[in-house]
Amino acid sequence: MTQLIWNGLFVGSFYALVALGYSMVYGIIKLLNFAHGDIYMLGAFIGFAMLTSVGVIPASLSITALLIVLLLVMISTGAIGVAIERVAYRPLRNSPRLAVLITAVGASFTLEYGVAAMAGPNPRVFPVRLEGQTFDVLGARISAPQIVLMVVAIILMLGLNSYVQRTSMGRAMRAIALDPKGSLLMGINVNKVITWTFFIGSALAGAAGVMAGAYYGKIDFLMGFIIGLKAFTAAVIGGIGNIKGAMLGGLLLGLLEAFGSQWLGGQWRDVFTFAVLILFLTLKPTGLLGERVTERV
């Protein structure tokens, strides 16, 4: 039981990190960024390239090396996210929503098969593997790498939350989410804020990618697809557009999966997850923490 809860929370923290980017982008420009899951994959591959170019890293330095790479990957995937927004989304910002959705799918395929063409279609084994002893906590086995990754994920999420709540950029983001035209009239540089949103969201997804690579050890060019859908589900459960909702949704989805597959069997895990998505979209489309938007006259 405690093992199930821990498994769920651990997987859920990955979903939450990726879901944050989905939710932020949707909250601000009402776009479902389908390329977001592939940024996660890109993060894993950039981390892989950086670590292999360094050569053999002694085991004692692996955590330090990984944290440095994590930071560098966050900057690179952030920049790539910004570039995607500039090339694929900004020219279409005033087009119908469907057009942007379709470019998002196009951007997703471009990233997937671009990586497949450059790095090859075979799965790669991550050069640095997080390993460590395991502890017994209330009957659940918890390993040191899991704790490290959870802590990194929580720090990133808390950092983002205080950034959005406390800084002027965060205030501008919230303002645009509420009323883009009004914010423009109040003198907010909307383009700059959207650029930042993409940067932060993509950086978090990239971080999740590196963490997944280091923990699971295997990366491949399609790894972003499923997690992208799961993160979207997490964002919907929590209330899409809501940052706290994305975190809550991620953790909840992890738990739901852990208990769902325990109850129905592993092969039903995805069926169960996406059935929950459908249920939420039909019964409570605003999610757990989302508020019903009232039209003001």
Partner 1 sequence: MKLRIPRALGMAAVAATVLATTACGGILGGGGEKTADSGPIKVAAVIPLSGSSAPTGAFMKNGMQMAVDEINAKGGVLGRQLQLDAEDEACDPTQAAAAANKAVSNGAVISVGGYCSGATLPTLPIFQKANIPMIIPAANSQDLVNQKLPNVFLINGTGAQQSAAAVKFMVKDGVKSVALVDDNTSYSKDIATETKKDLEADGNVKVALATSVTAGESDYSSVVHDIMGANPDMLYWTGYYQEGGLIINQLKAAGYTGKIMVADGSVDASLIKIAGGSNAEGVLATMTQTPDTIKGAESWIADYTKKFGSAPGPYSTQSYDAVRLAAEAITKAGSTDGTKVIAALEAIDGFELFSGPLKFTPEHTLSSGGFQILVVQDGKFVLKDALS
58 binds partner 1 (CB under 8 A): no
Report the residue number, 267 or 294, with the smaller CB distance to partner 1.
Answer: 267
Q: How far apart are CA 25 and CA 50, in angstroms?
A: 28
Q: Give the residue with the Cβ less far from partner 1, 56 or 293.
A: 56
Determine if 223 is a binding residue for partner 1 (CB under 8 A).
yes
Q: Count CA within 13 A, CB hemisphere, residue 92.
A: 16
Q: What is the spatial distance between Cα 131 and Cα 62, in angstroms, rounded to a whole number? A: 10
Minimum separation from the CB atom of position 1 to partner 1 (A): 10
Q: Which is nearer to partner 1, 177 or 223 (CB)?
A: 223
Question: Which of 87, 268 has the CB closer to partner 1?
Answer: 268
- 139 in contact with partner 1 (CB under 8 A): no
Rounded to whole angstroms, how far apart are CA atoms 255 and 202?
25
Q: Is 123 in the site for partner 1 (CB under 8 A)?
A: yes
Question: How many residues at the interface with partner 1, by CB under 8 A?
Answer: 33
CB-based contact 20:160 (threshold 8 Å):
yes
State the DSSP string of the chain: -HHHHHHHHHHHHHHHHHHHHHHHHHHHH----TTHHHHHHHHHHHHHHHHHHH----GGGHHHHHHHHHHHHHHHHHHHHHHHIIIIIGGGTTS-HHHHHHHHHHHHHHHHHHHHHHH-SS-EE-S------EEEETTEEEEHHHHHHHHHHHHHHHHHHHHHHHSHHHHHHHHHHH-HHHHHHTT--HHHHHHHHHHHHHHHHHHHHHHHHHHH-EE-TTHHHHHHHHHHHHHHHH-TT-HHHHHHHHHHHHHHHHHHHHHH-GGGHHHHHHHHHHHHHHH-TTTTT--PPPPP-
Shortest approach of partner 1 to residue 250 CB, angstroms?
13
**Please, what is the minimum distance in Å from the beta carbon of residue 131 to partner 1?**
7
Q: How far is the CB of 157 from partner 1 (least distance, A)?
A: 19
Q: Does 10 bind partner 1 (CB under 8 A)?
A: yes
Complex with partner 1: residue 149 or 160, whichever CB lies closer? 149
**Residue 108 touching partner 1 (CB under 8 A):** no
Nearer to partner 1, 44 or 177 (CB): 44
Question: Cα dihedral sign for 67, 72, 75, 81?
Answer: negative
If one asks whether residue 178 binds partner 1 (CB under 8 A), the answer comes out as no
Nearer to partner 1, 134 or 162 (CB): 134
- Given candidates 143, 161, 195, 286, which one binds partner 1 under the rule CB under 8 A? 143
Residues 251-280 contacting partner 1, CB under 8 A: 257-258, 261-262, 265-267, 269-270
Instruction: Name the segment binding partner 1 (CB under 8 A); options: 6-14, 155-163, 164-172, 177-185.
Output: 6-14
Q: Residue 217 interacts with partner 1 (CB under 8 A)?
A: yes
112: contact with partner 1 by CB under 8 A: no
User: Which positions touch partner 1 (CB under 8 A)?
Assistant: 3-4, 7, 10-11, 116, 120-123, 125, 129, 131, 134, 141, 143, 212, 216-218, 220, 222-223, 226, 257-258, 261-262, 265-267, 269-270
